[in-house]
Chain A
Amino acid sequence: SQTIHQWPATLVQPVGSPLSLECTVEGTSNPNLYWYRQAAGRGLQLLFYSVGIGQISSEVPQNLSASRPQDRQFILSSKKLLLSDSGFYLCAWRSGQGYHEQYFGPGTRLTVT
């Protein structure tokens, strides 16, 4: 069966510090991968998606970037965090083989102080 992991689960970082959040998927190959941000009490905002290694598409201009160095690994990064980067970050995957829904990781709660 497929599983998706995210780490860390919780992170507190000062303004101006770098960021690296990691997402990995097991049990599938060539998944479509997604990064979302969820502000407190709000819906999900799509940040990045990837259909393959090295292929990243950005949905909104911002202080963040994403990379996909391996088939089942998706990384969200920032060189210098802003207060507005605080939120709950969710990684999701979708099988590229005819499945229709997304499955989500447990999320990372980021607080920028």
Chain B
Amino acid sequence: AQTVTQSQPEMSVQEAETVTLSCTYDTSESDYYLFWYKQPPSRQMILVIRQEAYKQQNATENRFSVNFQKAAKSFSLKISDSQLGDAAMYFCAYRTYTSGTYKYIFGTGTRLKVLA
């Protein structure tokens, strides 16, 4: 079964600095999707970025980018020029196809604190 591991329960970053959140996963599939979601204090889950496993190029969305290492099964999120509004829980997720539908497996999350 697929698993997603986020080994950093909490991270801190100074405003305007760069921070990297780690995520590793375990799978025997060759084609899949990976995602990072942000959950601010409102608890609304917001999609930050996605990565297709068949694409070698790392995804980027403005200040957010990923470092996707398929062989190592690693999918880290880099936040550049951190802002106070980036403070949130960040969840890594893996999408798998099973039993006739797509399911999403989430890590336990990393709480990011942004220091002014």
Which A residues form the contact surface with B (CB < 8 A)? 32, 34, 38, 42-44, 46, 49, 51, 57, 88, 90, 92, 94, 100-104, 106-107, 109
Contacts and interface: CB of A to CB of B under 8 A. Distances in A.
B25 interface: no
A103 B47 contact: yes
Given A43-B107, A100-B50, A101-B35, A32 B45 contact: no
B103 A104 contact: no
B interface, by DSSP: helix, strand, loop or mixed?
Answer: strand
A43 B108 contact: yes
Interface of B: 33, 35, 37, 42-47, 50, 52, 91, 95, 99-104, 106-109
Given A43-B106, A43-B109, A44-B106, A101 B101 contact: no
Given A43-B107, A44-B106, A88 B43 contact: yes
A interface, by DSSP: helix, strand, loop or mixed?
Answer: strand
A101 B43 contact: no
Contacts of A38: 43
B45 A104 contact: yes
A101 B91 contact: no
Contacts of B91: 43-44
Contacts of B33: 100-101
B36 to A, nearest CB: 10
Contacts of B44: 104, 106-107
A32 B35 contact: no
